[in-house]
Each structure stands twice: as structure tokens, then as C-alpha cells.
Chain A
Amino acid sequence: MSTTNSTSLEETARRAVDLARRHGANEASATAGRMRELEVQWRDGRVEKVSEATTRGLSLQLFVDGRYSAVSTSDLRPDALDRFISDSIAMTRVLTPDEHRRLPEPEFYAGRASLELMIEDPRQTQLSSEERQRFARELEEGARSADGKGAILSVTTGFGDLSREVFRVTSNGFEGGSRSTQFAASAEVSVQDPDGRRPEEGDSGFSRFFEDLPSASALGRRAGERALGRIGSVKGASAVLPMVVDNKAAGRLVSMLLASMVGGAIQQKRSFLDGKLDQQVGSPLLSLSDEPHLKRGLGSRLFDGEGITSRPMALFEEGVLRTYFIDSYYARKLQTRPTTGGPSNLSWKLGTKDRAGLLADLGEGILVTGFLGGNSSALTGDFSLGIQGFRVRGGQLAEPISEMNISGNQLDLWKRLVAVGSEPYRYSTSRTPTLVFEGVQFAGT
């Protein structure tokens, strides 16, 4: 990224705020952004698809006589932009005034950490299309190396990287931007099951720095092993059993929990965690915090989407709920102080055992390696989710299982958390370790 480019994003954002003010907005914020993405998809020995794109856009929040709208456009031709802003303001004027709709108070912009978050890898601009293809090819070779019996039907791998640059300006004094990179590698493997099914499984890695991706051969091999592990899967009997959720899959459970912690859900009475602040809602092993300043973190940031300064924040301490994610609008409606609109990176209080150690302790139960569909009510906490994984007997993996389901209520589930693993899943912002729950309802035959 050159300096010239980022100057033009700053100029675009400042100009948009000026235009909005000139057309009659009392307050405005503008975020100008640019993203460049490159991707290669590889299948069975050759390139399947290559794509490359540069996208740019502008989004605006407009506050007009107590009324509010948020708009965005990719049509940045000067005439079109001018007309877009004036039309958007005219549209805003017909809405109902809302005293809670204002920019955040400038005090919340203060105290921004002066840290190098290490979220931009200079290597990204130097990657060649040959290197991307080589990575994708090595992913496939890794996957096929896991197969001794010729069960693999097809391997699709992918390598992609992007650079993103944004700059935000508000009419009440906030200015800030970020430049970041991201790399993604994935391998999907489809295998032939003797019963006619063609199960697929895969693995993937995401990182800010190229060197933080797993090696192509290791990632590919893991994807191959995961797919081959699906062969011969069966539907087990309905039962109440202990459940281990591996660290890659556990993020799904955590996202259900976090969905009930956002300000909108609390204020709209759509959260089972409403009224539970500082109460015990999980087992003492549920300890996690939000860590926005994690170096090289996929969710790392110095300020959030509104410009509110990011700070580390306890979410659950030994099972006690400590905070909600509250943006400035719902903070005013709830007559409280904003925290931040959503999580950055999660940091868990880890246990001492890895997955194998946890399985050995478990003895009898089910290991969940993936979820399929299902839903959870943010209001009641009731959930029902499809699963696949393995039966565990005598502390060892036994037959693979599929076509099964778990059901329960989150207030009950999180109290049943009986062990936390030692290895967080590095390739996601929720960085979840392996989690173990006792007494979970499984549905099968």
C-alpha cells in the first residue's frame, strides 16, 4: 500500500463528511475503504479458477434533525456521489426523530493505544501467482498423502490473500484508519464410502501474516485425514452422554452465547442473558475476555466500528457474566455507558490438557468435530444442532457418527462445562479451546 493511496481514502472520507454537512446533515461519519483480493482454486491437479478484484466504497452515517440513516455506495463518480448524498439526506428527513441517534460522545474516542498491532504483512504485495498456485498444489499433495487405499474422489484446495485499508472521519473529531492483510488456505476432500455416500471434510487456516499459516502439506494432510475419518459413519442411538467439542468446532457454541450479549438483544428483551449481569450463568471454568490488542490477531483493532477506543474487557469470570457488547445507540436507550458493539479477539482461560488428554479422561461419550445446521433462540437459549463426530469408548476414538443432533438450553449447557482444553484454535477470532460438557441430550436412532 502506498502512502498516496491512503491519503486519497482520507480525502474521500473528509470530503464526504463535508458534502453531508453542506447538504444539511447536523452530524455525519464517513468510512472510505479499499480492498484487493486474489484467489486461486485448485482441483485434482490443476487450476480450477483464478480471481482477482479491487473493490472500493464509501459508507456514511447521516444525522439530520434528529433523524438517522446509514448508506453506502460503490459508485464514486463525483456527480453520482453528490446526488447520492443529497438524496440520502432527503430520505432521512422523512423518518421519525430519535433522540438516541447521535455520534458517540468524543470522550469515547480518547485514550487510543499507540500500539503496533502487526496486522499488515508486507509479504502480501510480493506474493506471485506462481506461489499461490504452488501453495494450492501442495495442499492437494498433502491431502492425497493421507490416503493409502485410493478412497479420495476429489480434492479442491484454495489459497487467497487480501489487503484492506479503511479510513473513518466523523464530524465530531474522530479520525482513524487501519491497513491490514489476511491469508486463507483451505482443502476440501471428498471420499468414497462403500455404502455409496461421498462424504467431504476439510481443513482451513486464516492469518494476518503469511508465515502464520500452517504448512500446506500439514494442512492438506489433516484435511485428508478428516475426510477419510468420515468413511463408514453411522447414526448412534439417542442418549444422554458427555460431549467433547473440538477446538475448531467449538466456536459455533460460543457465537450462540455472544449473540445474546449484544445491546440490541438486551434492550429489545430478546436475550436470555438480560438481567443476568454479575450473576453465575456458566460453570466456574467459563472464563473469557475480549482482547483487542492481541498482536497479529484476526480481530485486533485500536478502535471499533463507531470509533470507540478499544480496551481489553472481561466477558465471563469463573462463570459470572461481566459485561454486554453495547454500542453508543443502545447505551443511550439503556441509560448506561457504551462498551463496544461486538467482540474483537476472545481469550480463554485455558486448561492443561490437549484433546487426547481430555478424551482419555472422558472414557465414554461423543466427540463433536462439526455442526450441521440447527439454530438457537437468543431469547430463550433453547438450541438444537446437527452434529458429526466420533463415538468415544474407553478414552479412544471409536466409530464415526453422523445424522445425529444435540438439544438443550444454553443456561443449562454452560453450567455443564466440565473441562477446557489447552490449545486455542488459532484461525478464528473466537480462539476457542476444546470444550467438554457432561450430560448432553443426543438424538439418533
Chain B
Amino acid sequence: MTRQDLVGGGTDEALLGGAEAERTGTRGPAEGIGYFARFGVTETLIRETLAAALSRGGDYSDLFFQHRVSTSMSLEDGAVNRAFTTVELGVGVRVIKGDQTGYAYTEELSLEAMRSAARTAAAIADGPSRAGPQHFHVFKDLPKRYVLQAGWDAVRPEQKLPILEGLNSAAFQADTRVAKVSLSFSDEHGAVLVADSTGRIVEDVQPMTSLYLSCVAEQNGKREQNAYGVAGRAGLDFYSRDRLDRIVREAVARTTILFDSVQPPAGEMPVVLAAGSSGILLHEAIGHGMEADFNRKGTSIYADKLNKPIAHPFVNIVDDGTNEHARGAINVDDEGNVPGKTMLVENGVLTTFLHDSISARHYKVKPTGNGRRESYRHAPLPRMRSTYMLPGPHTPDEIIASVKKGIYCSNFTNGQVNIGAGDFTFYVKNGYLIEDGKLTRPIKDVNIIGNGPKVLEKVDMVANDLVIDEGGWTCGKDGQGVPVSQGIPTVRVASITVGGRNA
């Protein structure tokens, strides 16, 4: 079977066709709008809901419709013996008065339910009713950053099974020490529609997929475990031979090397971050602190650093919504704004914050397309997309050779930050000791802790080998998770606290 029936519609092409028809005005309001026509969403419904939302004089209102079908299949003990599907359908109504927000949502797309949610959100304001838009225009020039051969609603579950079974056998064949393999294959067919009180309507169909292999190995009675995965806004053809081989190779190698790994010593030392997922440093040390909500409130350590030098002149950092098929890429943010590439740090100078529409109004700048939310159950917030550092003047070999005694970090599991104090951590799962300019013993399981602005100043070498990681990173903020990407070239941090052991 396919999941086409489940969502009651056709493939992506048909959906886009529907949206196209709406754009050219060949459909009347009674027939509904684009993808959401199937749920009875019409211009009339939107107009009346927005009118209720502005009934107490809010400055602005938007509706966020979302339909998302997420499926995952898991393999354990050699069998693909469980599957999970979640269907989400609902609309969030937001009313803004100044920088105050009223928010409500409903999972029933009837006029009555939506009007009731709108009146609830409207209560943030307390004044005479304002008129909503009488006419709508569908935004036409959305970029196409994740065009698929086929949407996930058209992929049959039978097509995924052999991929999982093949990876399982390959992992056992790769090394006799492999004792347990588990796999998880997830995909998402999502659609969003933003309609706002200026009369703008924007639609996007958003795919997502990830494949994750976790492995336990056994050697002389000792066990270790580790994992590797890839993710992207892509379709089934994302799983090329190369990527699948890499999943097995990396997951097994990252696990078996743990038998020979030690924990590094504790204390301050130079740290070299490998190109790729080490971009977690940027996400935690700087990215969150540059989200404009924290700066608008004066609670970020970066609040008074705009247009000031905060790093060496060869440090350039961007937050980018445009990398094709990246997990953090978007054609449109969840407030209806088209994101581009935002320079956060240019030649070492902090150039802008990351804005949603509330903070953009506050700072009197254009929104940067960073208004994102987990689902219709949440109001949008300024959030990162794909955050990375541009290549610098050094080479990776030069950087490693420059360190007398320190560590090299290549693989990470998680990170966290205190925005105002600037203290942040990231957790290293694999790496190496550096002794006299050479990688020596492998290391494992160590939390690195530092202070964002201080560490950024101490990034004193940047190589020319930028890699944007393909891992399935999710950023958490205010209880909401959104997909993000990150990347970095090989860099050296002159000194940072390594949470190792001195035993």
C-alpha cells in the first residue's frame, strides 16, 4: 500500500500543481486552498478566523496550518518488527499586540473551532476590533530547496525493508566483534500553510528523512556501543550506495575504536575540532546567544556586542536556510518569510542577530527568516537553521602539527548552553590525544565546557576544509525541537576545559 490514501491526495507534483492553480486564480474560495483544500480550508474560513483573531484590536495575526505524517521503522535482533506512524493535523492562531503574544490551536479545522481558538488568542489585546484582510494573495516565488523524485507519501514500506536488512547484514560482516545492531528509518511528509492579516498566503511541502545505525560490540568480555546516522530534507534516492556504506563503516569503526580509547586528562588544554559535526561549537557557543529574543530582553551575553569584534578577523559564521536538502534548510520559515543566508560574524565582527517577526519589528530590521516552530502546537521563536563557519587560511595538518599537548575531537552526541552566562558544553564521543603535533591514542566520553565569547576569541586557527554535517541534529528551546544542521572547517581553540580524568 502507499500512504497516498492516508493523506487523501496525490504525490508532491499533484500538490504543487494544486498550489500553482490557486496562484493563478483559477480556483474559487469555495474550493479551498492548495494542499489544504482536502481539509476544507478555504479563503472564507481563513478570512473569518482572522477577523475573530483581530476582534480585540491585535496589531497582527497569523494562522499556521500543518499536516504531517511521520513514519519510522526499526530493526532489532535482525528483524524489522516494529513500525510507528503519527499523523498531526491542526492550526495554530497567533495574535500579536506590541511584543505581546496570544496563542491558541485547534485540531479540528471547522469554522466554529477555529473561531473559538482565534477569540482565545485575541484576548491578548483589549481594544476596538480591527478589520482583517478582504483579499488574499498567494506568495509565488518560493525557492525549491528540496525537490523530490517522489514524496514519502508515495513510498511503499516494502521499499524501505531491504535497506534496513542490508545494513544489518553489512554491519555484522564488517567486524566479528559486532554483537547487536539496531536501526531506525524515519521519514516525514509534511505540509504547512501560513496565512496572515496582511492577506499573504504561503504554502510549503516539507519532506524529511533520517537513518540511524546503533551498534554494540564485544571484545574480551568488554562491551562498547556507538552510532552513526544521516538525515536530510530528501527522498528515498538520498540513500545512495555511498551513504549506506558510510553509515555501516562509520558506526562500526566509531564503536570498535572505543575498546582502545581512554579518557583524556582533566583541565584546560588546546582543542582541535575536526571538520563537520564540530559545528556544534557554533550552535552552542554563539548561535543561541545571537537569537534576537534573548537580546531584545537584554538577557544574552551578546546583547551589547552588535557591530563589535568578537573573534579573529579570519572567523566568518553564517546561519543559512538555503543549503539544498540539508536538514536545516527551509523554503519558508513558519511565519511565512523566505530565508536566505545570514552573516552572523563577518571578519570577526558580530553583524546581526537571528530574527523572527516580533524581534525584527523591535529592532526595525527585516525578518531574517528564522521564525520557526516545532508544530502548530507552538508559537514561533527565533531559531537557527544551518549554522556553519566559512573556510579559513590554515590547513588541517598545520593545525594538528601546531599542538604540543591537547585533544582532537571528531564525533559528538549533544551540547547545551546557558544563554546569559554564555557557558556551554558539548559532549565528545570519539577523538584522539594530540602529542607533539601528532594524533596518538583514541579518546572517548568527555564533556567539554567553556564560555561562548571567551572560546570564540580563542579560535585562533581555521582551516580550508569546511564540511557541513549530515547528522540528524535537533535543536531544543522552550520545549520545542526543530531540525537543524551545522558545520565547520578544522579549527583550533587555544585553550578550553576538558572534563576528563586525572586518575
Q: Do A and B come from one complex?
A: yes
Interface residues of A (CB under 8 A from B): 43-44, 46-57, 67-76, 80, 83-84, 87-88, 90-92, 94-98, 101, 129, 153-154, 156, 190, 193, 196-200, 230, 233, 235, 238, 240, 268-270, 333, 372-375, 377, 379-380, 382-386, 388, 402-408, 441-445
Q: Is B445 a contact of A382 with CB atoms below 8 Å?
A: yes
Q: Is B420 a contact of A190 with CB atoms below 8 Å?
A: yes
A271 to B84, CA, bound (A): 25
Contacting residue for A69 out of B83, B102, B419, B421, CB 8 A: B83
Contacting residue for B79 out of A69, A98, A382, CB 8 A: A98
Given contacts A373-B414, A375-B427, 14 further A-B contacts (CB under 8 A): A47-B124, A50-B124, A51-B101, A68-B81, A72-B86, A84-B6, A96-B80, A269-B223, A270-B216, A379-B216, A379-B225, A443-B266, A443-B500, A444-B497
A50 and B103 in contact, given A69-B84, A91-B85, A375-B413 (Cβ under 8 angstroms): yes
Contacts of A235 in B (CB 8 A): 497
A233 to B423, CA, bound (A): 11
Q: Is B423 a contact of A388 with CB atoms below 8 Å?
A: yes
A91 to B153, CA, bound (A): 12
Tell me the residues in window 444-459 of chain B with beta carbons closer than 8 Å to chain A beta carbons.
444-451
Contacts of B121 in A (CB 8 A): 50-52
A404 and B120 in contact, given A373-B424, A377-B445, A384-B446 (Cβ under 8 angstroms): no
Q: Is B425 a contact of A372 with CB atoms below 8 Å?
A: yes
Contacts of A51 in B (CB 8 A): 101-104, 121, 379
Shortest C-beta distance, A330 to chain B (Å), equals 11
B107 within 8 A of A: yes
B149 within 8 A of A: no
Tell me the residues in window 230-257 of chain B with beta carbons closer than 8 Å to chain A beta carbons.
none
Contacts of B10 in A (CB 8 A): none
Q: Is A92 a contact of B303 with CB atoms below 8 Å?
A: no
Pairs across A and B, CB under 8 Å, 30 listed = A49-B102, A49-B103, A49-B379, A50-B102, A53-B377, A54-B107, A69-B85, A71-B85, A72-B87, A73-B86, A74-B107, A95-B157, A153-B298, A193-B421, A196-B301, A197-B301, A268-B182, A372-B417, A373-B415, A373-B416, A373-B417, A384-B427, A384-B499, A385-B499, A404-B449, A405-B266, A405-B497, A407-B263, A441-B502, A443-B500
Contacts of B449 in A (CB 8 A): 372-373, 386, 403-405, 443
Most central of B182, B266, B298 by chain A CB within 10 Å: B266
A48 and B427 in contact, given A200-B418, A372-B449 (Cβ under 8 angstroms): no
Contacting residue for B299 out of A72, A190, A383, CB 8 A: A190
B219 within 8 A of A: no
Contacts of A380 in B (CB 8 A): 223-224, 445
Q: Give the interface size bracket for B toward A.
A: 35 or more
Contacting residue for A405 out of B413, B414, B417, B447, CB 8 A: B447
Binary interface encoding of chain B residues 364-383 relative to chain A, with 1 for a CB under 8 A from any of its CBs, else 0 = 00000000000001010000
Q: Is A407 a contact of B446 with CB atoms below 8 Å?
A: yes
Shortest C-beta distance, A96 to chain B (Å), equals 4
Q: Is B6 a contact of A95 with CB atoms below 8 Å?
A: no
Q: Is A75 a contact of B180 with CB atoms below 8 Å?
A: no
Contacts of B105 in A (CB 8 A): 53, 55
B5 within 8 A of A: yes
A46 to B79, CA, bound (A): 56
Most central of A44, A51, A95 by chain B CB within 10 Å: A51
Shortest C-beta distance, B90 to chain A (Å), equals 6
A403 to B102, CA, bound (A): 37
Among all A-B residue pairs, the 5 with the closest Cβ atoms: A405-B499, A373-B425, A373-B416, A443-B266, A198-B420
Contacts of B301 in A (CB 8 A): 196-198
Binary interface encoding of chain B residues 260-290 relative to chain A, with 1 for a CB under 8 A from any of its CBs, else 0 = 0001001110000000000000001000000
A117 to B445, CA, bound (A): 42
Binary interface encoding of chain B residues 481-503 relative to chain A, with 1 for a CB under 8 A from any of its CBs, else 0 = 00000000000000001111111
A49 and B418 in contact, given A74-B107, A373-B447, A403-B497 (Cβ under 8 angstroms): no
Contacts of A193 in B (CB 8 A): 421
A91 and B1 in contact, given A54-B106, A198-B298 (Cβ under 8 angstroms): yes
Q: Is A199 a contact of B87 with CB atoms below 8 Å?
A: no
Most central of A75, A76, A385 by chain B CB within 10 Å: A75
Q: Is A71 a contact of B86 with CB atoms below 8 Å?
A: yes
Q: Is A75 a contact of B87 with CB atoms below 8 Å?
A: yes
Shortest C-beta distance, B385 to chain A (Å), equals 22
A332 to B426, CA, bound (A): 38
B297 within 8 A of A: yes
A50 to B94, CA, bound (A): 10
